Amino acid sequence: MKSVDCKLLKLEGLEELKKQIKGQKISLRIIQVEGDSASDLYVKNKKKAANQIGIDIEHILLKQDVTNKQVIEIIDSLNKDENVNGIMVQLPLPNHLDEDLIINSITPIKDVDGLTTENLGRIVTNEEALRPCTAEGVMTVLDKCIGLENLQGKTATIIGRTTLVGLPLIHMLLSYDATPIVCHSKTNNLENHTKNADIIITAAGAKTPFINSEMIKENSIILDVSTVVGEDGKLHGDVIYNDVISKAGYVSPVPGGLGQLTVLELMKNTYKAKQMQDKQKNKQQENNPKQLKLKF
C-alpha cells in the first residue's frame, strides 16, 4: 500500500505555481460570513498559500446578519473591478442566505471555486472552465498515482453527488474514458459497487468511518474527500484507514489528505482565471478597441 502524500503534492504544486506567477499581478478576493470556525481555518490556509506564491489576497469578512442583496452588491463591484482576477465565497453560508443565488452572481470567468452553473455546464460539454477545486484535486492525485491516461477502462465508484465533488467528477472521469458509478444516501447495496471498483472516491461525510477492507478490491485506489469532526474532537473521513492500508494500492489520509489539494487547486484556478481574462481582453481589443467587457 502507498499512502498518498497530499502535503508534498501541495508543496510541489505551489512551488511550481510560484515560478509561473513570478512578476505577474494576480488578485483573489475571499468573501466570508462570520460564525463558522472551520471556515476560519480554511480561509487562513488559503491566505497563507496565496501569500507564499505571490497572489494578492483580500479577505472580506461580513457580519452574520448580512443580506443576500448586500453580498451580491459586493460581488458585483468585484466583478466590475478589472484588478480582481478571482472571487470566491467561503461555504457554508448561514441558512438565511441563498447559496445558489450568491454563487451564480459571480461572473464565471472569475469563479475560482468553479461552482457557478455556467462553469459546471462547461465541464459537461468538456469545454474550458474553472473547475471545482476539490474535484480537480482528486484528478491531480489520480494523475500522480497512475497517470490520467491510465484511467481508460477503470471503474470508479464515487460516493456522494454534490456539485463540489460527485457531479463534476462524473464528467471529468468520463473525459479520460473511465467508467464512473455514482452512489449516494439512497443507494442500495453500496458494497456491491465498492468491491469491484478500481477507484473509490468518497465524500459521504459520515459521522463514523465505514469503508473497511471487506468493501474494497485488492490494490484499489481509495481517495477520502470527507473531513468530519468526531465526538472525540478529532478529524476523520469515511474510510477506516488502518483497516484498508494492507489491501489498497493507494489511500489518502484524513487529516492531511485531499483538503491540501483543494487549496492548491484554488491557487491554480486563480492563475488560470488571470490567463483567461488576459486572453479575452486581448481578443476584445483586437475586435473593438473602444469597448472592453469581460464575458465567459
Of the candidates 129, 126, 127, which has an alpha carbon nearest to the alpha carbon of residue 114?
Answer: 129
Provide DSSP, 102-122: HHTTS-GGGBTT--SHHHHHH
Q: Strand ranges (DSSP E) for 4-104?
A: 27-33, 56-62, 86-89
Q: What is the C-alpha separation between 218 and 224, in angstroms, rounded?
A: 17
* Burial track 173-197 (b if 16+ CB lie within 10 A, e otherwise): bbebebbbbbbeeeeeebeebbeeb
Catalytic residue among 10, 32, 46, 224: 46
Whole-angstrom Cα Rg for the chain? 20
Of the candidates 29, 10, 272, 1, which has an alpha carbon nearest to the alpha carbon of residue 137?
Answer: 10
Please indicate whether residue 90 is annotated as part of the active site. Answer: yes
Catalytic residue among 32, 90, 260, 277: 90
Please indicate whether residue 284 is annotated as part of the active site. Answer: no
Please indicate whether residue 113 is annotated as part of the active site. Answer: yes
Catalytic residue among 32, 110, 111, 113: 113
Provide DSSP, 270-287: HHHHHHHHHHHHHHHHHH
Q: In what order do the strands lie in the sheet with 2-3?
A: 2-3, 250-251, 221-224, 199-202, 155-159, 179-183
Per DSSP bridges, beta strands 235-236 and 228-229 are antiparallel
CB distance 18 to 54 below 8 Å: yes
**Catalytic residue ranges:** 46, 90, 113
